[in-house]
A and B are shown apart, each in its own frame.
Chain A
Amino acid sequence: MKTLAELNAIRDRARAQMGALRDGGENNTRLVVGMATCGIAAGARPVLAACLEEVQRRGLSNRVTVTQTGCIGVCRLEPIVEVFVPGEEKVTYVNMTPEKVSQVVAEHIVNGRVKMEYTIGANQ
């Protein structure tokens, strides 16, 4: 059973990792999930949860930041995840699912190969 008391241990552990996060935060890869009405209705909440889980599971928390944004403007292609790798062009992934998130994190973030078939260019 999770209790509030456990937060003390989590705080101490997180504090130990915070120095590393602050140093690298500026140059982090960013995963941005659209979380407006259109995104939420299309399934953005589980997509965001998958991003968080995948980043933590692969131990990428110190170099990948997951954030939320409002309406990206192409509501019919939601859920949308934008990937910003420093020094590279933005990649927009559309019609996302938690399963596709796992593949994008593995292929794009870890291996550096854009998952072309899920991008907006391949789905217009």
Chain B
Amino acid sequence: MKELSLHILDIAENSLAAGASLVEISLTEEAGALTVTVRDNGRGIPPDILPAVADPFTTTRTTRPVGLGLPFWKMAAEQTGGRFSIESAVGVGTCVTAVFVSGHIDTPPIGDMPGTLVTLVQGHPRVDFLYTHRAGGVDFTLDTRTLRDTLEDVPLDSPDVLAWLSDFLRENLRI
């Protein structure tokens, strides 16, 4: 995958498959490192499976016995001299952290984060997403719970709402 935002979309899909009602995604650029965390309140990963989740031959998919999402993510971070970790507790949730060394030639560009967020909201309009991006001392936050308060009974995946969200993110999330 050529963009961090594509990996993030892929990793967040795991949280959604785990039945999360809240997915928190944060990007922090500071002190020569870019740290990406995806935290959810889904069903969690049993301790006997957890050590093997970054193994390509561990997967929950049913179409074939290979799953490359987490292995790709781990490799992407580690090949920049960064690190990867995953913590999980059954019934509590999972947190995946990847640290990239800023400016390393193998660190992918962040890419189209607005595209990733719109895709997540469109596919999972009943789930809440909290996105935080901190760079150069400036914070940007998108919390779908705030949007929901304004929208009341109108779903987040209404075409007009998605179009607004896309424009809003593209204008306000300058990376």
Q: Is the CB of B6 within 8 A of A7?
A: no
Give complex CA distance A23, B172 in Å: 36
Q: Interface size class for chain B?
A: 35 or more
Please judge, given known A-B contacts A11-B150, A66-B122, whether A2 and B171 are in contact too, CB under 8 Å.
yes
B150 touches A46 (CB 8 A): no
Q: Which residue of A lies closest to B6 (CB)?
A: A40
A66: chain B residues at CB < 8 Å are: 122
| Known contacts A4-B146, A11-B152, A55-B159; A45 and B115 CB within 8 A of each other | yes
Is A52 interfacial (CB-CB < 8 Å)? yes
Picked from B1, B153, B159, B167, the residue with its CB within 8 Å of the CB of A56 is: B159
Chain B positions 63 through 98: 1 when the CB is less than 8 Å from some CB of chain A, otherwise 0: 110011100100000000000000000000000000
Annotate A47-81 by CB proximity to B: 1 below 8 A, 0 otherwise.
Answer: 01100100110000100001110111100000000
B1's contact among A7, A13, A41, A48, by CB below 8 Å, is which? A41
Contact yes or no, A14 B160, CB < 8 A: yes
Alpha-carbon gap, A41 to B1, bound state (A): 5
A37 with B72: CB separation less than 8 A: yes
CA distance A9 to B48 in the complex (A): 50
Q: Write the chain A residue with the least CB distance to B2.
A: A41
Interface of B is mostly: helix
Q: Is A114 an interface residue (CB 8 A)?
A: no
Q: Does A99 contact B (CB under 8 A)?
A: no
Chain A residues positioned under 8 Å from B13 (CB to CB):
35-36, 40, 70
> How many Å from the CB of B74 to the closest CB on chain A?
13
A67 to B125, CA, bound (A): 11
Enumerate A1-44 residues with CB–CB distance to B below 8 Å.
1-4, 6-8, 10-11, 13-15, 17-18, 35-38, 40-41
Residue positions of B touching A, CB distance < 8 A: 1, 6, 9-10, 13, 17, 61, 63-64, 67-69, 72, 112, 115-116, 118-119, 122-123, 146-147, 150-154, 158-164, 166-168, 171-172
Residues of A within 8 A of B (CB): 1-4, 6-8, 10-11, 13-15, 17-18, 35-38, 40-41, 45-46, 48-49, 52, 55-56, 61, 66-68, 70-73
Contacts A/B (CB < 8 Å), 29 sampled = A1-B171, A2-B164, A2-B168, A2-B171, A4-B146, A4-B147, A4-B168, A11-B152, A11-B154, A13-B160, A14-B154, A14-B160, A14-B161, A15-B153, A15-B154, A35-B9, A35-B13, A37-B10, A40-B1, A41-B72, A45-B6, A45-B119, A48-B122, A49-B119, A52-B159, A66-B122, A68-B122, A70-B13, A72-B63
